[in-house]
Amino acid sequence: MSLLIQYQPYILRFKFDAGTSRGVMKQKTSWLVKISDQERPDSSTPLRAGFGECGPLPGLSIDDGPDFETKLAEICGLFNSLDLEVFPFNLPIILEQLIPAELPSIRFGIETALHDFMNGGEKILFKNDFSQKKTGIDINGLVWMGSEEFMHQQIEEKLTQGFTTIKIKVGAIDFAQECRVLETIRKRFSSEEITLRVDANGAFVAGEVEEKLNCLAQYSLHSIEQPVAIAQPELMAQLAATSPIPVALDEELIGKMDYMEKFSLLKSIHPPYIILKPTLLGGFQQCGEWIEIAQRLSIGWWITSALESNIGLNAIAQFTAQFETTLPQGLGTGQIYENNFSSPLNIRQGKLYADGPETWDLSALDSGWLTV
C-alpha cells in the first residue's frame, strides 16, 4: 500500500444571499481531498479512493486565510513523501503528527478521507443505522437573516417540510424585526408544538445583552447560541448562570485543541449546551473529546455542519449517528447550494436520511486533482 493524497478547490454557490451577523455570503470555497492506493495488485482492480472536505469559514475558522491552499499543499506533499499506510490504530498518530492543531479544517478533511478510504471508499465512514439507511437524524430547520418577508418565507417552507425545531439567526438586522418574526411564530405555535432556537454569533455587546435576552425570553426559546463575542469568560459564565434563555457555546470552542484547556473552559463557564462543528474544531477525534467532557459535566450538546458540501455533511451526519442523541442536530445545510454534489442525503419531516434515490456524483472533480 502506498497512499497518495490529492486536492482541488471547489466553489460552492448559494441559492440565495446567506445572511449572518458577520455579513452576507454568496459563495464559499472548499478544498476537496482524495486519498487513494497507488499500489493496486493489477490494472483491473478498481481504484479505491476516500474523499474529504477542508472548508474553512471566512472570518470564523482559525485557519482561514490567503495562504490556506499553500498550507494544504505543504501537508499533502509531506503526506505523499512518507509512504504512509493507515489503520484504525495509527490514524490518530497520523493526524497529530502530520497536521498542526492550528489547521482544524485540514485535519477534518484528511481525517474524513482516511476514514472513507479505510472503509472501502463507499462514502460509509461509520457503520450505523443512519449510514445503513435504516433511520434518520432529527435536525433543526435553519432560517437565514434577511428581509422580514424572506425570513417568513423560509419559516413557512420549514413548517411545510415538517420541521418541529427551527433555528433563526439574530443579531445582524433590526432587533425589533427579529422579535416580530419570533412573535409571529409564537402566536401560531406553542413551545410544545414548535421549538425555537436562536443564534446570535456573538453579536450582542455587554451593555445590552441582558436586556435583549429578557426581550427574547418572552418567546419561550429553547436556547441562544453564542450571545456575546468570544474571550469574555466572566461575562459568558455570568450569562450561562443567569440568562432566562439557556446559553449554548459555539465560537467559544474554536481553537481549543488541548484536552485540559477544553475541560477548564467548560468547567469555568458551565453552559447548559455546547455546539460542535467538526470543521471548525479539528475533526471527529476533537469533537469526541468535547462530548466526553460535556457528559462528565452534565452539559448538553449537539453537532452542526459548517456549510460543507454533501461530502462533509455526509461524514458529519454519520459521526453524529454514532451517539445516542435526544436533541435535534444542526445538519440541514445540504440544500443551500445550487451546485452541491448529488448524493443519497435527503430531508423528510424534519429528519436527515441517507436513503434517497440519488447516487453519489463527483464527476465535477474528475479533471481537477492536484498532486504535490
The rounded distance, in Å, linking the Cα atoms of 117 and 126 is: 12
28, 169, 212, 256: which one is catalytic?
Answer: 169
In the annotation, is 15 catalytic?
no
What DSSP string describes 90-113? THHHHHHHHS-TT-HHHHHHHHHH
Q: 312 with 336: CB under 8 angstroms?
A: no
158, 167, 212, 277: which one is catalytic?
Answer: 277
Share of the chain residues as helix, strand and coil, in percent rounded to the nearest 5? 35, 25, 40
Does an H or E element contain 74, and which? helix 68-81
Give the bridge partners for 8, in sequence order: 32
In the annotation, is 169 catalytic?
yes
The rounded distance, in Å, linking the Cα atoms of 182 and 220 is: 10
Q: Which of 1, 73, 17, 61 is nearest to 312 (CA)?
A: 61
> Cell triple for residue 14?
448559494
CA atoms within 13 Å, Cβ hemisphere of 87: 3
Angle between helices 68-81 and 104-118 (to 10 degrees): 40
The rounded distance, in Å, linking the Cα atoms of 319 and 215 is: 36
Q: Which residues are catalytic?
A: 169, 277
